[in-house]
Structure 1
């Protein structure tokens, strides 16, 4: 059996206010080509399909056009898609009856039966092989919000509730499988030890809860297709537990990531190989600096001129990071004047002062832009400004819980 594992598309995302639709269109066109070439039995999309719980019409069109085209090209292809923390689980599931006609299964929430037993059946999806017979069972684990895994039957412990979901679903899958069938998990979660891109990954840690342990996925699981972290990586060095990463760089901190999808080969329940397929970058990201203004102006002068025959949508996004000795009120004007006629698109200017560089790096204050701060960081800075002391841990936990409740409300239909 052959699977393709992808995640974190973030359809509808903007980069400092600039639309990324062209880049997403290029990626989805490339992915359709890989489906034609690789002929997988299943495509796994491990969450954060959209960038927000209320995606634009264009973003939704991108997704559903892709699903239709994928089915037209490979009628036997099974697609399994789960909601991530950026998605609305209800929205992901809404067109479910229609998508099932296209062999696409969209899971956004876990549900419990009246007796407090997990409704496992809806989360277990048979994956047919080339012969049409089920060769693997997919355990679909969308991002688990506190309201879904705590309550009267489950208690108030978030991590304990997550453990109950995993345990119940794995037990149900093991009871259903035959010895020659693989168990494949698809999950959107922050696993312990994962490398995080702070600029573009919303925190999943709630209160004092820790990232999830890899032990949630026992050895009976042949492969775990993870979403959430944008950098491709193994969990605890295990080949079978993988983040494939995002297909395009979602922030300037991801410039050097090897954006990819993963091709997974299994023979029965045995994992044979996991191979990366590198995604071509349709639009480059270019960062100049940090450096003094004079140095940056000289480097800008060396940038290529606009090619009038080239598509402007392919011009790189540019971030300029300036080190200043004193305030420069006309900084933006100087940079924009220098960039006139250059084949780049300026999306961000960051400034830091030479006397604070070392301290800024230690304190995490360099290039202070609101869109680069997590809500927790912003709350902590405002607290310090207002009260003159660092925020205490209980208050920060209360804020994080409130923030999660807001996210949950946003995710409701």
Structure 2
């Protein structure tokens, strides 16, 4: 059996206000070509399909056009997609009855039966090969929100609830499968030891909860297709537990590694190989600086000029990081003037102040940080420090995180 593992498409994402639809369209066209060329049995999409719980119409059209196109060119392809923390679970599941006609399974939430037991049946999906024989079972684990895995049956411990869901689902899968059938898990989670991108990954850690241990996925699981972390990586060096990463760089912190999908091959229950397929970058992200303004202006002058015959949609996105000794009121004007006629699209100017000469006890190497660089938890911690003159305690951080989860869940209602 052959699977393609992808995740974190973030359809509808914008980069400091700039639309990324062209780049997502290029990726999906490339993915369709790879599916046609290699004819895998299964495509896995491990969450964060959309960038927001209420994605723009264009982003939803991208997803459903892709699914229809994949089915038309490869009618026997099975697609499994799960909701991530950026997604609305109910929105992902809304068209599920229609998508099943296209051999696509959409799982957004875990549900519980009247007797308090996990509805494991809906989370276990048969994976047939081209001949129609079931070669594997997929354990679909969408992002598990606290309200879904805590309560009367599971108690109030979030991590313990997650562990119980994994234990029950794996037990149900082992009971269902026959010898020779592999178990494939697809999950959207932050695993312990994973490498996080600086700017673009919304934290999954709640209060003092830790990242999830790889031991949740026992040795009976042949392969674990993970989503959430945008950098491709193994978990604890295990070949069978992988993040495929995002298909495009979602922030300037993600420009220094190649984005990819993973081509997974199994023989029965045995994992044969996991090979990356490198995704062509339709639009480069370019960062200049940090450097003094005079040096920045020289570097901008050396950028190539616009070629009117080139596709303007392929011009690089540019971030400029300027190191200043004092505020520069016309900073944007100077940068934009230097960029006139240049084949780049400016999306962000970041100013860093050094050697300000302040004697108020402030850090002389302080950096001006924009709000979109900070997570809600970081903003809350800074506001607490400013108001009360002390660091926020752990219990208050935990309470804030739980309130934030409640607000995000309310926003998810379509």
Q: In the TM superposition, what is the alpha-carbon distance from 1:85 to its structure 2 partner?
A: 0.2
Instruction: State the distance in 1 between where 2:383 and 2:211 align.
Output: 26
* Structure-1 residue corresponding to 2:92: 92
Instruction: State the distance in 1 between where 2:64 and 2:130 align.
Output: 25
**Which secondary structure state, in structure 1, belongs to the residue aligned with residue 335 of structure 2?**
helix
Q: 1:206 to 1:345 in 2, by over 3 A?
A: same
* Structure-2 residue corresponding to 1:381: 382
Count residues in correspondence: 409
CA contact (8 A) 2:93 2:107 kept: yes
* Structure-2 residue corresponding to 1:82: 82
* Structure-2 residue corresponding to 1:40: 40
Instruction: State the distance in 1 between where 2:271 and 2:169 align.
Output: 21
* Structure-1 residue corresponding to 2:300: 300
**Which secondary structure state, in structure 2, belongs to the residue aligned with residue 400 of structure 1?**
helix
TM-score normalized by the length of structure 1: 0.97
Q: Deviations over 1:317-344 (max 9, x none)?
A: 0000000011100000000000000000
Q: In the TM superposition, what is the alpha-carbon distance from 1:198 to its structure 2 partner?
A: 2.7
Q: In the TM superposition, what is the alpha-carbon distance from 1:355 to its structure 2 partner?
A: 2.0
CA contact (8 A) 2:354 2:365 kept: no
CA contact (8 A) 2:326 2:356 kept: no
Listed as ranges, the matches of 1:59-138 within 5 Å are 59-138=59-138
Task: Specify every segment of 5 or more residues in structure 2 that has no aligned partner in the other structure, as ranges.
Answer: 358-362
Q: Deviations over 1:191-220 (max 9, x none)?
A: 000000130000001111110000000000
Listed as ranges, the matches of 1:213-224 within 5 Å are 213-224=213-224
Q: In the TM superposition, what is the alpha-carbon distance from 1:257 to its structure 2 partner?
A: 2.3
Q: 1:190 to 1:67 in 2, by over 3 A?
A: same
Q: In the TM superposition, what is the alpha-carbon distance from 1:366 to its structure 2 partner?
A: 2.8
* Structure-2 residue corresponding to 1:405: 406
CA contact (8 A) 2:2 2:263 kept: yes
Q: Deviations over 1:133-170 (max 9, x none)?
A: 10000000000001110111221111111011100110
Listed as ranges, the matches of 1:250-265 within 5 Å are 250-265=250-265
Q: In the TM superposition, what is the alpha-carbon distance from 1:365 to its structure 2 partner?
A: 5.9
**Which secondary structure state, in structure 2, belongs to the residue aligned with residue 355 of structure 1?**
coil
* Structure-1 residue corresponding to 2:227: 227
Instruction: State the distance in 2 between where 1:81 and 1:198 align.
Output: 26
Q: 1:364 to 1:327 in 2, by over 3 A?
A: closer
Q: In angstroms, what is the RMSD of aligned CA positions? A: 1.4
Does residue 1:366 correspond to 2:367, yes or no? yes
* Structure-1 residue corresponding to 2:212: 212
* Structure-2 residue corresponding to 1:13: 13
* Structure-2 residue corresponding to 1:151: 151
Instruction: State the distance in 2 between where 1:366 and 1:228 align.
Output: 28
* Structure-2 residue corresponding to 1:311: 311
**Which secondary structure state, in structure 1, belongs to the residue aligned with residue 406 of structure 2?**
helix
* Structure-2 residue corresponding to 1:57: 57
Structure 1 residue runs of 4 or more that deviate by more than 4 Å after TM superposition: 362-365
Instruction: State the distance in 1 between where 2:351 and 2:92 align.
Output: 40
Q: In the TM superposition, what is the alpha-carbon distance from 1:363 to its structure 2 partner?
A: 11
Instruction: State the distance in 1 between where 2:210 and 2:389 align.
Output: 29
Instruction: State the distance in 2 between where 1:226 and 1:143 align.
Output: 11
* Structure-1 residue corresponding to 2:392: 391
Listed as ranges, the matches of 1:169-180 within 5 Å are 169-180=169-180
Instruction: State the distance in 2 between where 1:54 and 1:260 align.
Output: 26
Q: In the TM superposition, what is the alpha-carbon distance from 1:284 to its structure 2 partner?
A: 0.3
Instruction: State the distance in 2 between where 1:264 and 1:126 align.
Output: 17
**Which secondary structure state, in structure 1, belongs to the residue aligned with residue 355 of structure 2?**
helix
Listed as ranges, the matches of 1:332-371 within 5 Å are 332-355=332-355, 366-371=367-372
**Which secondary structure state, in structure 1, belongs to the residue aligned with residue 212 of structure 2?**
coil
CA contact (8 A) 2:93 2:106 kept: yes
Q: 1:30 to 1:402 in 2, by over 3 A?
A: same
* Structure-1 residue corresponding to 2:360: none
Q: In the TM superposition, what is the alpha-carbon distance from 1:367 to its structure 2 partner?
A: 4.1
